[in-house]
C-alpha cells in the first residue's frame, strides 16, 4: 500500500483522528474555541494535518475573536479556494493546494495588509515551532 501524501484519503489517512477525517475529508467544521491552536502564538509554521504541506506562518496569524485560528495570508501557493454554496450561503472554501483537504473559509473582514481572514479549523493543522522541538496539534 503506498503512502500518497498528496491525497488526505490515501493510505496515511489512518494517522488522522476521526475529527480530522471529518473536517479534512467531509468538509466538516470543528466547534469554535476548542482548538489549542487558537491560542498558539509561538513563532513557527502551520502545516496541513492531511499531507504536511506548509500553509501559514505565525507572522500571518491574528486573534479574530471567532474561535478558530485565523490568518491574514497563506504561504504563497499553499492553498486554493473554491466556491461553497452549502447551508444556503455563498462562501469561499479554503483547501490545501497539495492534498485538497478542507481547511476552512476565507472572508473579506480581516486586518491589513490583505483585508482577508482565513478562518481555519485547528484540527486541519499541525503547528511546528520555529525551533522544531515538538509538534502541537
Enumerate the active-site residues.
Answer: 119
What is the C-alpha to C-alpha distance for residues 39 and 55, in angstroms, rounded to an integer? Answer: 18
Residue identified by cell 501559514 is 56
CA 101, 105, 109: angle at the middle one, nearest 5? 155
What is the C-alpha to C-alpha distance for residues 69 and 46, in angstroms, rounded to an integer? Answer: 10
How many C-beta atoms lie closer than 10 Å to residue 53's C-beta?
Answer: 19
Amino acid at each position: 500500500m503506498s503512502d500518497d501524501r498528496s491525497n488526505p484519503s490515501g493510505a496515511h489517512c489512518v494517522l488522522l483522528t476521526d475529527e480530522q477525517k471529518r473536517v479534512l475529508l467531509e468538509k466538516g467544521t470543528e466547534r469554535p474555541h476548542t482548538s489549542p491552536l487558537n491560542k498558539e502564538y509561538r513563532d513557527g509554521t502551520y502545516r496541513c494535518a492531511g499531507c504536511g504541506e506548509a500553509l501559514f506562518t505565525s507572522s500571518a496569524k491574528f486573534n479574530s475573536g471567532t474561535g478558530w485560528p485565523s490568518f491574514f495570508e497563506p504561504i504563497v501557493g499553499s492553498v486554493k479556494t473554491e466556491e461553497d454554496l452549502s447551508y444556503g450561503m455563498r462562501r469561499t472554501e479554503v483547501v490545501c493546494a497539495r492534498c485538497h483537504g478542507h481547511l476552512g473559509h476565507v472572508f473579506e473582514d480581516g486586518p491589513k495588509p490583505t483585508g482577508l481572514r482565513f478562518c481555519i479549523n485547528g484540527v486541519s493543522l499541525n503547528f511546528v515551532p520555529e525551533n522544531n522541538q515538538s509538534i502541537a496539534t
